[in-house]
């Protein structure tokens, strides 16, 4: 019998049997929520989650801004729209039940120019169609009542938006998986390097041992395309990383933002624009920008991986995406290296913001799935390959929607794996 030793949060566990009903690759919030939801439906199933880092939620989950998204931006009828609204409500109930710190503080979306009003109204209509509760249009006076230092001509008040720490949520999923379901485990520092597919099962290979699973689910975030290909899936999309840099409000500037302030997103570009976000554990972040990274999990401006760079630039869709968004890309790089330029963008929302109101903050990297034509895959993308399910694209609002996505994957597993 093979015995694998592993550590999670300074506790030592022993796995005396390396055979599992389902093995999930990736200990981010989506992989953990999927394990939790499948175990809730099938408590006798043994599920193993494998995470390559020392802690769960180490990359996108732990580096995002912690916003509980309302579901207002997404195309009605899309997976993003439905799962965000349903997932948000379920997440808030989950946070209340398990006493995870959170605050449904609301946010304002602010138009600063007449040219933004048409798209702001489209966002409002999407929100209504998606069932976002409480959203309303507000005037310039109402904006200042909510955020006194913010200047805008019109805006949207979104009372159901909130803030949370998604790493806290992920750790609670781990606790529940390991305490409620006998035989289910989460192993950190277990990087999946290969899959050995056999009749009726798959051996998942890591440097610390081999684990046998009847079924496989991959939720590998920034590595999702690579892991899916290793498992044997035929996919035509590729992951390209984009770093988001943040500034924090200094002690001098922190009184200029109460909660969350967002611009009206530019319909031509795939990101929401720089915004202000109060954090649940203190402080306020300003950002992010979005710049192409030369290392998928590189959080500084100088991080470089020859493998990651070569893969990204050898994919034709990357160059087509750059060609379609060249002005956007140049502006984002300018903001990455110029605090003055970054401040100028933030001043669209808060004109009184000054240079010493900002101090350098952290960075995150988001996984963007690109099609060969250079189009960003704008919705969640989950595919089945034999005895495996692959989450190929789970961008924002995946953290907000994690419990709803977990339910969707549980239903897919029930249908394709015949778990019942």
pLDDT tens column, 96-124: 999 999 999 999 999 999 999 999 999 99
- What does the buried/exposed string (b/e) look like for 119-140 if buried means 16 or more CB atoms within 10 Å of the residue's CB? ebeebbebbeebebeebeebee
Report the alpha-carbon distance of residue 117 to residue 13 in Å, rounded. 57
Report the 10 Å Cβ neighbour count for 288: 30
Domain of 40, in residue numbers: 4-60+167-237+379-417
With CA atoms as reference, report the closest residue to 382 among 417, 420, 418, 413. 413
Judge if 230 and 197 occupy the same domain.
yes
Q: Is residue 100 included in any domain, yes or no? A: yes
pLDDT at 7: 34
Domain assignment present for residue 406? The answer is: yes
More confident residue, 117 or 331: 117
Please tell me whether the peptide bond between 288 and the residue prior to it is cis, using omega within 30 degrees of 0. yes
- Average pLDDT of the chain, as a whole number: 93
| 266 is a domain residue | no
User: Are 125 and 153 members of one domain?
Assistant: yes
The last residue of one of the domains, among 164, 193, 221, is: 164
Do 193 and 160 share a domain, yes or no?
no
Q: What pLDDT is recorded for position 330?
A: 81
Quick one: 146 and 197 in the same domain?
A: no
171 and 160 share one domain? no
Confidence category of residue 337, pLDDT binned at 50, 70, 90: confident
Instruction: Answer whether residue 8 shows pLDDT above 50.
Output: no
Residue 344: is its pLDDT beyond 70?
yes
Domain match, 108 and 158 both? yes
Q: Residue 88 in contact with residue 104, Cβ under 8 Å?
A: no
End-of-domain residue from the set 110, 136, 164: 164
Residues 123 and 159 reside in one and the same domain: yes
> pLDDT of 40-58, one tens digit each?
999 999 999 999 999 999 9
Q: Tell me: do 12 and 154 sit in the same domain.
A: no
> How far is the CA of 166 from the CAs of 31, 287, 329, 398, 410, in angstroms?
13, 18, 28, 11, 21
E strand residue ranges, 70-208: 102-103, 107-111, 136-139, 154-158, 162-164, 185-187, 194-198, 201-206
In a domain, 268, yes or no: no
Which pLDDT belongs to residue 3? 34
Does residue 335 have a pLDDT over 90? no
Q: Is the pLDDT of residue 228 over 60?
A: yes
HSE at residue 13, side-chain half, CA atoms within 13 A, is 17
> For residue 313, is the peptide bond before it cis, meaning its omega torsion is within 30 degrees of 0?
no
- Does residue 39 sit in the same domain as residue 183? yes
124 assigned to some structural domain = yes
Query: pLDDT band at residue 10, thresholds of 50, 70 and 90?
Result: very low
Provide the CA 191 distance to its chain's centre, in angstroms. Answer: 20
Residue 33 contacts residue 121 (beta carbons within 8 Å): no
pLDDT band at 16; cut points 50, 70, 90? very low
Q: What is the pLDDT of residue 327?
A: 79
The domain boundary, picked from 164, 183, 206, lies at 164
Neighbours of 179 (CB within 10 A): 9
Q: What does the pLDDT look like over 69-105, one tens digit per residue?
A: 999 999 999 999 999 999 999 999 999 999 999 999 9
Tell me whether residue 275 is in a domain: no
- Classify strands 238-249 and 291-292 as parallel, antiparallel or unpaired: antiparallel
* 374 pLDDT tier (thresholds 50, 70, 90): very high
- Helix (H/G/I), strand (E/B), else coil: 166: helix
pTM: 0.93
User: Do 56 and 93 share a structural domain?
Assistant: no
Beta pairing class for 209-218 and 388-393: parallel
Helix (H, G, I), strand (E, B) or coil at 145: helix
Residue 49, pLDDT score: 98
What is the C-alpha separation between 6 and 318, in angstroms, rounded?
Answer: 39
Number of domains in the chain: 2
Domain assignment present for residue 225? The answer is: yes
305 belongs to a structural domain: no
Q: Do 191 and 136 fall within a single domain?
A: no
Identify which of 144-158, 256-270, 287-301, 327-341 has the greatest average pLDDT. Answer: 144-158
CATH number of the CATH domain containing 184: 3.50.50.60
Residue closest to 116 by CA, chosen among 75, 152, 141? 152
Q: Give the Cβ contact number of residue 78 at 10 Å.
A: 15
> What is the per-residue pLDDT for 269?
67
In this prediction, residues 194-199 reach a mean pLDDT of: 96
- Please calculate the CA angle 253-258-262 and round it to the nearest 5 degrees: 95
Q: Quick one: 96 and 34 in the same domain?
A: no
């Amino acid at each position: 019998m093979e015995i694998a030793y592993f550590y999670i949060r300074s506790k030592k566990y022993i796995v005396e049997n390396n055979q599992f009903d389902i093995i999930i690759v990736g200990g981010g919030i989506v992989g953990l929520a999927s394990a939790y939801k499948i175990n809730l439906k099938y408590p006798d199933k043994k599920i193993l989650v494998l995470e390559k880092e020392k802690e769960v939620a180490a990359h996108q989950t732990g580096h995002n801004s912690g916003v509980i998204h309302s579901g207002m931006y997404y195309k009605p009828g899309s997976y993003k729209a439905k799962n965000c609204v349903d997932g948000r409500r379920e997440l808030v109930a989950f946070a209340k039940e398990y006493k995870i710190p959170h605050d449904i503080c609301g946010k304002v979306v602010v138009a600063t120019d007449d040219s933004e009003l048409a798209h702001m109204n489209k966002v409002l209509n999407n929100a209504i169609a998606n069932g976002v509760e409480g959203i309303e249009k507000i005037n310039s006076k109402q904006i200042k009542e909510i955020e006194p230092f913010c200047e805008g001509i019109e805006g949207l008040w979104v009372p159901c938006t909130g803030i949370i720490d998604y790493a806290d949520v992920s750790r609670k999923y781990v606790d529940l998986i390991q305490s409620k379901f006998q035989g289910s485990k989460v192993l950190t520092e277990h990087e999946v390097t290969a899959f050995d597919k056999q009749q009726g099962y798959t051996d998942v290979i890591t440097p610390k041992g081999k684990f046998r699973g009847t079924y496989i689910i991959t939720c590998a975030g920034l590595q999702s395309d690579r892991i899916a290909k290793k498992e044997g899936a035929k996919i035509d999309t590729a992951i390209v990383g984009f770093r988001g840099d943040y500034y924090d409000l200094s002690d001098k500037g922190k009184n200029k933002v109460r909660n969350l302030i967002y611009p009206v997103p530019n319909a031509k570009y795939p990101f929401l624009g720089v915004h202000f976000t109060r954090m649940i554990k203190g402080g306020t972040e300003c950002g992010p920008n979005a710049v192409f990274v030369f290392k998928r999990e590189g959080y500084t401006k100088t991080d470089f991986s020859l493998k990651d760079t070569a893969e990204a630039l050898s994919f034709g869709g990357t160059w087509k995406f750059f060609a379609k968004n060249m002005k956007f890309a140049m502006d984002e790089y300018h903001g990455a290296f110029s605090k003055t330029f970054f401040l100028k963008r933030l001043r669209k929302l808060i004109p009184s913001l000054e240079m010493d109101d900002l101090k350098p903050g952290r960075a995150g990297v988001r996984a963007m799935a690109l099609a060969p034509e250079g189009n960003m895959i704008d919705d969640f993308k989950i595919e089945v390959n034999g005895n495996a399910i692959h989450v190929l694209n789970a961008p924002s609002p995946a953290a907000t929607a994690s419990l709803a996505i977990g339910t969707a994957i549980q239903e897919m597993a029930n249908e394709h794996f015949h778990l019942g």
